[in-house]
Chains A and B, each alone.
Chain A
Amino acid sequence: MSSCGTDSPFEEFDEASRLVSRKLAAFLRTLRDNGFAVGLAEGRDAATLMGQGFAVRPSLWRSALKHLLSARKSDWEKFDGIFDAFWLGKRVRSRSQTSGVARAANNPSFKSLQDAAANQHGSQTITNQVPSDDVAPDGRGGEGRMEGASRADNLAEVDFRDMADPEQVAMAHEAAARLAKVMRTRLTRRDLARRRGYRLDLRRTIHRNISHGGVPISLVKRQRKDKPLRLVILLDASGSMSVYTSVFLRFIHGLLDEFREAEAFLFHTRLAYVSPAMKEKDAGRALDRLSLLAQGAGGGTRIGESLKTFNRWHAARVIHSRSCVMIVSDGYETGDAVLLGREMAALSKRCRRVVWLNPMAGWEGYSPEAKGIKAALPHVDLYAAANTLRSLSALEPYLARL
């Protein structure tokens, strides 16, 4: 992923173009730092475009590069902001990273080349759409605050909130990840063993029976491809759940694997799609990336609103006919409980099963009295406690039946 490949095709350009090409290489690197998948082929094509005179006007240049270099909607929306910041020197109020070379934006030799651009600069009213979440990373790496006494007996039975010393917490994390892995493979295997139906594969049948003079003696059958079970996990990361968040994150990370259909979302006051961050192979790094998202704004939990966002923007993509939605939350809704009820109804219509895991349901003497959980319960297929490793593993037979 080096940018040297993008430097080479520019030999024939004059001095000014060479400056621009170097700048282009730096721009590609900036995009890569911002999560764009830009390869050498794209760099070469961008250079071709420059040669074709697309770079004479900033608006044309931006539009051309936008089509070439962005690959998904989020890129598409982010692009204008990054482009303006880089090529036109507009300030970006965001977390978009600029790599070392990119700071050459202010280098005078390029400034002179940019004069033409600057003249038109005023007429542009492209708004910067890069979200600005300047959350300072802290060293805790997503660990919740643990309280209570330390009990070193059977880990499986210990409530996550009662785990105090870091070693025990780490062990619980390991166990959660292991559990998730085992569940994943077992679920998939059960899936396969249960398949029966078939239909005839005419093409292969004929091919195989050429030697019989075309009389179909040995038949080739085709199995219907089965959709693997897909888990969609919505994890409450608000303050009231903070003791549990880290263990569940670890559990989810175990479930999400490249070959496994699972999607994960976090919510507190808003919803965040975290599958890409979760796919990070190294659990520690994944959790680091997530700890930023996981820290709730402290403004309570808007489950209803988060679900609404989910239903509106994500449901069509992530839910199919064999999906199970797993909501992990204590059900303390600080927003509108009626809205929560409505969105839960919409959600349950859409997917096969809704599982609600409430860590607090495992506490002695707890009953679902919070208005949020009361509104949601009628639309939930399984309501279960999930405050110990044992209760997590108890879920497996249920998921296998889907």
Chain B
Amino acid sequence: MKNREEIAERLAVCGYIADSELATAISLMQLLKRPLLLEGEAGVGKTEVAKALACVHATELIRLQCYEGLDQSSALYEWNYQRQLLSIQAHRSEDADAVEDRIFSEKYLLERPLLAAIRRDRPPVLLIDEIDRADDEFEAFLLELLSDFQVSIPELGTITAMTIPHVVLTSNGTRELSDALRRRCLYHYVDYPDIDREARIIMARIDGASASLSMQIAQMVQSIRKEELRKVPGVAETLDWAAALVGLDVRDLHDAPELVHETMTCLLKTQEDKVRLTREVSERLLGKVA
């Protein structure tokens, strides 16, 4: 077993500041060979976990973005139709069996993320992003793949995994996932980071953000999250805002209340929220920041 401190350290080297629970989850993933299901509000850094994991294992990240209507042919494999047609035309004289054998061979097979993930020499990180957007049918298919790690292609036969990928699934909760899939996975709920961790994230990600400024930004964002907003700013928004402030050469939030208010566009993504967070409100919030 790799210990958790080591994993947390390596995540930090990759630019991901994890809490100790996540490090546990990752060590469990390796130990039990189970996929990890991440849930949480939009923008808390779920996708980043997978990227960091790829970095920790120094391996490739294969990403499958789910959407409504996603089917096997865009997730698993597809035949290269154009080439197949060309080949059929070019070998008209040959007998049908030979043509069929030719056009349904590896050469004409297009790998899609799921197939790619089980055919690598070195286990990659497979990120199945926003699984809740895919249909129930796809979820059921995925479940089968995740338990057997083999794929059967009718024309070619069964392809068994050469290596078992590290699988990370993320969900935003637009649809309730099936119990079967949930049971198959380790579960981790990603929450907004606390002030300390968010400040460390800012420092790690934004060049030129000093410790004191990062702390101030983190405090400010934390109090904005407590306001009644339609779209609560996530970590990505915080980073945008921090980058904007650093770019505008702000050293201390108290020095530039005007700029602070104006740059809040980085955090607020709806008209309603912008109206709600007036200059007075932003000054009141700024007053609370140490």
Contact = CB atoms under 8 A, between A and B. Distances in A.
- The answer to whether A and B interact is yes
Contacts of B39: 72-73
16 contacts: A37-B179, A41-B183, A42-B183, A48-B31, A66-B21, A67-B28, A67-B36, A67-B186, A71-B37, A71-B187, A203-B73, A213-B92, A214-B84, A224-B69, A225-B135, A317-B174
Contacts, number: 86
Given A49-B28, A72-B39, A214-B85, 8 more contacts: A63-B20, A67-B25, A67-B188, A68-B28, A77-B189, A213-B88, A225-B69, A316-B174
A136 interface: no
Given A71-B183, A71-B187, A213-B92, A64 B81 contact: no
B247 interface: no
Main secondary structure of the interface of A (DSSP, over half): helix
Interface residues of A, number: 35
Given A206-B84, A210-B100, A211-B96, A48 B187 contact: no
A52 B79 contact: no
Contacts of A66: 21
Contacts of A73: 39, 173, 189
Contacts of B98: none
Interface in B74-98: 78-79, 81, 84-85, 88-89, 92, 96
Contacts of A203: 73, 78-79, 81
B189 A317 contact: no
Contact of B176 (A210, A213, A224, A317): A317
A71 B179 contact: yes
Given A70-B187, A72-B182, A76-B187, A317 B173 contact: yes
B205 interface: no
A56 B89 CA distance: 68
B20 A52 contact: no
A45 interface: yes
Looking at B21, B37, B92, the one whose CB has the most chain A CB atoms below 10 A away is: B21
Q: Classify chain B: how many residues form its interface, as a range.
A: 35 or more
A102 to B, nearest CB: 22
Interface of A: 37-39, 41-42, 45, 48-49, 52-53, 60, 63-64, 66-68, 70-73, 75-77, 202-203, 206, 210-211, 213-214, 224-225, 316-317, 320
A320 B183 CA distance: 26
Contacts of A37: 179, 182-183
B79 A206 contact: yes
B175 interface: yes
A316 B189 contact: no
Nearest to A225: B69
Nearest to B179: A37
Nearest to A211: B96
A225 B71 CA distance: 11
Contacts of B96: 210-211
A316 B187 CA distance: 21
Contacts of A202: 81
Looking at B31, B37, B92, the one whose CB has the most chain A CB atoms below 10 A away is: B31
Interface in B8-38: 20-21, 24-25, 28, 31-32, 34, 36-37
Contacts of B78: 203
B262 to A, nearest CB: 27
Looking at A41, A60, A64, A77, the one whose CB has the most chain B CB atoms below 10 A away is: A64
B290 interface: no
B32 A71 contact: no
A76 B31 contact: no
A263 to B, nearest CB: 9
Contacts of B176: 317
Contacts of B73: 203
Interface string B170-200: 0011111001001101111100000000000
A73 B171 CA distance: 11
A214 B88 CA distance: 6
A386 B67 CA distance: 39
B248 interface: no
Contacts of A39: 183
Nearest to B32: A45
A14 to B, nearest CB: 21
Closest 6 CB pairs of A and B: A214-B88, A71-B182, A63-B24, A76-B189, A67-B186, A67-B25
B89 A214 contact: yes
